[in-house]
Amino acid sequence: MKTVPVLSLEEAARLVKPGQTLLVGGFGMTGNPVHLMHALAETGTGDLTYVANNVSEPGLSGGRLLRNGQIRKAVGSYFTSNPEAVKAYQAGELEVELLPQGTLAEALRAGGAGIGGFYTPTAAGTVIAEGADVRVLSGREMVFVPALHGDVALLRAWRADRAGNLQYRLTEQNFNPPMATAADLVIVEVEEIVEVGEIAPEQVHTPGLYVDYLVQASLTPDDLGSSADVKGGAKKVDPARLHMARRALQELRPGDVVNLGIGIPTLVADLLTPEHGVILHTENGMLGVGPAPEGGGAMDYPVNAGKIPVTALPGASYFDSAASFGMIRGGHVDVAVMGGLQVDEAGNLANWAVPGKPLLGVGGAMDLAGGARRLIVTMTHTEPGGAPKLVPECTLPLTARGRVEMVITDRAVFEFLEGELTLTGLMPGATLEEVRATTAARFAERVAGPTI
């Protein structure tokens, strides 16, 4: 059995050279090699291509490298979570390559498996696929994505033995396992290093053959940013939003595997009881999500896709991001409940690009909208200025084409019946005349009264 060298943070950081491509694990600050990144920030090493889900948080981990001007290009799925990344892009100081979250995970998995690339239905027909090789395979448009490979991977695991075998904690797997396979040099920051044999074989998530160096560094709540305490993720709740969440809950059946998007859909989780029998999936690597805890943070609990600490129900499981999005694209998620900016008469959804803002944050929306068996959209009926969100044709960049089955707004419920947008219910306090006046899309009417 090999022995993996243990380095200091400073020694490890000096192994990264200017101009290299860096793979950085983590989902937000969970499973993030924050101490390695801060040591790298001290070196001043620059001109880096930074591959990660996002650029962490302002001044933390990759956010510190960004603030120092060490990152030339960022490849990831959700840069809007760090306002400083948006400003750097707008100022021409940062080059950005945006990938859907599942595409990013699969590109890393392919890079580590010696596969040159793959075809995926995710993003077909959207601006992200512009210029890509698109083919029709098995009756669906598929976009070709080349594999991703890095010079150095900086990762975070909970435990390692001296042979480099890694064990992750809760939702801290995320991008770490695929990245461990996809770099020439792999350095892993861990909470604890134990002797060979102390991690049982069935508890090894990443075999030691991928790992070149270990660094020991302990997490504190200060390292976890907004995930340090569940109170940092408090949700805005008002009666109209709760009405929409309750109506969405009516569509869920016992045994359904359900993914809830950020915003209004997350309120559904607070309404679920064990009697509903619904299994919640979160794309950062968990099945069996429970309600938010009364207190505590990511030091004690897993986190959901909103980076909010949650509990785990009996029978829950954890996995990495590549496996999670394989579940989604493979049609194993029964229902996705997502927010929306626009839905049109053809069942197209636009929900990721805010008008007037740079296209920097798609996350897992395209994978979920295209991969879930059923897509329900919850959104306000109009923009704050009164413009309709149900439109003849989406004018905002598309998330997915022809996938929406139901739309729940604060005024009405619409379903696509026999291919036609159809009003099937009114929300409390809404009138038919009001819905007609504030809906730009054409629709049929099969409504008898309030829907909840």
| Greatest distance between any 2 Cα atoms in the chain | 74
The closest alpha carbon to 360, from 25, 75, 22, belongs to 75
Asked if residue 244 lies in contact with residue 310, where contact means CB atoms within 8 angstroms, the answer is no
Asked if residue 174 lies in contact with residue 284, where contact means CB atoms within 8 angstroms, the answer is yes
Distances from the Cα of 376 to the Cα of 125, 235, 247, 264, 390, angstroms = 20, 20, 11, 12, 14
Exposed, middle or buried by CB within 10 Å (0-12, 13-18, 19+), for 225?
buried
DSSP symbols for 122-190: TTTTSGGGTTS-EEEETTEEEEEEE---EEEEEEEEEEEETT--EE--GGG-BTHHHHHHSEEEEEEEE
State which amino acid sits at residue 22: L
Beta-bridge mates of residue 390? 343
What span, in angstroms and rounded, lies between the C-alpha atoms of 244 and 49?
Answer: 42
Residues with catalytic function: 283
Asked if residue 425 lies in contact with residue 447, where contact means CB atoms within 8 angstroms, the answer is yes
Question: For the range 310-315, what are the long-range contacts, defined as Cβ-Cβ under 8 Å and sequence gap of 24 or more?
Answer: 310/269, 310/282, 310/286, 312/170, 312/286, 312/288, 313/288, 313/289, 314/288, 315/288
What span, in angstroms and rounded, lies between the C-alpha atoms of 213 and 36?
Answer: 12
| Alpha helices, H only, 385-431 | none
What span, in angstroms and rounded, lies between the C-alpha atoms of 31 and 224?
Answer: 9
Asked if residue 349 lies in contact with residue 399, where contact means CB atoms within 8 angstroms, the answer is yes
